[in-house]
Amino acid sequence: MSRLSRLQAYLAEGPGEDAWWTKERSRLEKLWQNEQEAFPGWVVGTDEVGRGPMAGPMVAAAAAAQEMVFIPGLNDSKKLTGEERELVMELIFRSPIRVELEIVSVDAISRGNLHHLSLGAMQAALKRLKLKEKPRLVLVDGKYPLPEAKLPQRPLIGGDRHSALIAAASIVAKVTRDRIMRDLAAQHPGYGWEQNVGYCTEDHRLALVLLGPTPHHRRNYAPVKALLPTQLMLEGLQ
């Protein structure tokens, strides 16, 4: 039975009792270890998706819980298929885990510093949670802390492999951004965004040359920036 089938069955019927479920519970207990140190009380995990693409927004998320929550399939979003991420996100939303998002526009990315924007977006998502009590711990994906120095926080390199709440934030941010890019792909066909989700793949670079940049391309990214003068000159001649 595939992981996808097990997740589908869990949504419909609840957990099973075979060896796979025993192994999954054991894996998840390890994934919650960083959070367990600060329970009881609010613990928050933050992550962002979309730093690297040359098109589309960046999406940050913050996920908060007061105790361990069993979410089968919860893992580094890159280890899950698109279908699995969708199902795990549904499980997250059905659970006591609270999640909020912050979306950074293409215009902001084109004008700003991506490092500062990503940290600021994760902090903004955290604030959107509107927790009544100060978090006992904030786990941040990466090696840099959030700008708010008074927060009790711990940066974790590869955090979505070592923290359940960072993994939850990563999955929600990834699914949200992928949905945005699929919607944009319908509006701007030919760039392959429904597959490459804005990343600088060979097919995307070729389409950029053939079709030119769109308003959703990041103007400060080299492949886009190189084409802007030509594109603007052609538009001036029309």
Distance CA 207, CA 187 (A): 15
Tell me the fold of 3-186: Nucleotidyltransferase; domain 5 (3.30.420)
Q: What order do you get walking across the sheet with 98-104 strand by strand?
A: 98-104, 58-65, 43-49, 137-141, 153-156
**205-233 pLDDT per residue, tens:** 999 999 999 999 999 999 999 998 754 43
Q: What does each C-alpha distance from 116 to 111, 149, 173, 204, 214 come to in angstroms?
A: 12, 14, 18, 27, 25
Q: What is the DSSP letter of 177?
A: H
Give long-range contacts, CB 8 A cutoff, 24+ apart: 203-208: 204/54, 204/55, 208/54
**55-83 pLDDT per residue, tens:** 999 999 999 999 999 999 999 999 999 99
- The full set of domain ranges for the chain reads 3-186
What was the pLDDT predicted at 11? Answer: 86
Helices (H), 16-163: 19-31, 33-36, 82-94, 106-111, 114-128
pTM of the model: 0.93
Q: 153 CB contacts (<8 Å, ≥6 apart)?
A: 137, 138, 139, 140, 145, 146
**112-168 pLDDT per residue, tens:** 999 999 999 999 999 999 999 999 999 999 999 999 989 999 999 999 999 999 999
Q: What is the rounded average pLDDT for all residues in the chain?
A: 93
If pLDDT is split at 50, 70 and 90, which confidence band does 234 have?
A: very low
pLDDT at 236 over 60: no
Burial of 102 (0-12, 13-18, 19+ CB in 10 A): buried
What was the pLDDT predicted at 13? Answer: 82
If pLDDT is split at 50, 70 and 90, which confidence band does 235 have?
A: very low
What was the pLDDT predicted at 230? Answer: 53
